[in-house]
Amino acid sequence: MEIETPFDDQDRQRLRRAMGGDRDYDDLAQLIALAGAREAIDQATGRFVPSTIAEERSYRIFCLLREGLSLADAYALIAGIFQTEPATAKRYVDSAMARFRVELDEAMDAAIRAAFADDAAGTEFMDSLWWVRVPDSLIGRVRQIVHDAGQPEIASARKGNVWKFADESYQAVRAAVALTVRPLPKKR
């Protein structure tokens, strides 16, 4: 299904005011549109039927997080959407995360699985380390997996969202999301 909706410079300006910083507002608008469409479909099909405004708000936040909105962006965006103070927005986001923890964990695991798959773009083995492109919205969870497994910490490659993993750490993340061990590449 493909749906188009207008998104002009005035909309970009409004998002810029709500979010601050320099970012790709077209990508952010696409994420918001996908989350909104999913929310509408879930309600129309009866998958989610809110009984209170608070439940509706939590589900809207869940849909944004499920589409990959980072926590930092969620706090800023929710403050803008619901016209609240940052502390209130943080409470709203934290509440939604607690309410939909299982669903969010499943969505995050699927996204991590895609980032660590054998055919994932942006993954290479170099200088005895795995260099993996990990979206910002997933890095906190990936770090937690590595920490919980007692493996060496990961380090930023200082190339966008590329991170360096010792083989043990890389394999621990793969195992945590039900991927098999990936052998080290053969030396050329």
At which residue do the structure tokens 């989610």 appear? 48
Residue 5 has pLDDT above 90, yes or no: no
CA dihedral 25, 29, 30, 34 (to 10 degrees): 150
* pTM score: 0.68
Residue 65 has pLDDT above 80, yes or no: yes
How many other C-beta atoms lie within 10 A of the C-beta of residue 99? 16
Interatomic CA distance for residues 185 and 152, integer angstroms: 20
Interatomic CA distance for residues 87 and 65, integer angstroms: 18
Q: What letter would DSSP give residue 34?
A: H
Give Cβ neighbours of residue 3 (< 8 Å, ≥ 6 apart).
33, 37
What the block records as the tokens of 58 is 């939590």
Give the pLDDT band (50/70/90) at residue 171. Answer: very high
Give the pLDDT band (50/70/90) at residue 187. Answer: confident
Give the pLDDT band (50/70/90) at residue 188. Answer: low
Give the pLDDT band (50/70/90) at residue 81. Answer: confident
* CB-based contact 116:143 (threshold 8 Å): no
* CB-based contact 184:128 (threshold 8 Å): no
159 beta partners: 162
Interatomic CA distance for residues 22 and 37, integer angstroms: 26
Mean pLDDT of 126-155: 91
Q: What is the mean pLDDT of the chain?
A: 89
Q: What letter would DSSP give residue 67?
A: T
Give first-to-last CA distance, the chain, whole Å. Answer: 44
Q: Which of 117, 105, 90 is nearest to 145 (CA)?
A: 105
Mean pLDDT of 151-174: 94
pLDDT of residue 84: 92
Per-domain boundaries in the chain = 9-99, 108-176
Reported as a single tens digit per residue, the pLDDT across 85-110 is 999 999 999 899 889 988 888 888 88
**CATH code 3.30.1360 for 108-176:** yes
Interatomic CA distance for residues 30 and 36, integer angstroms: 10
pLDDT of residue 154: 96
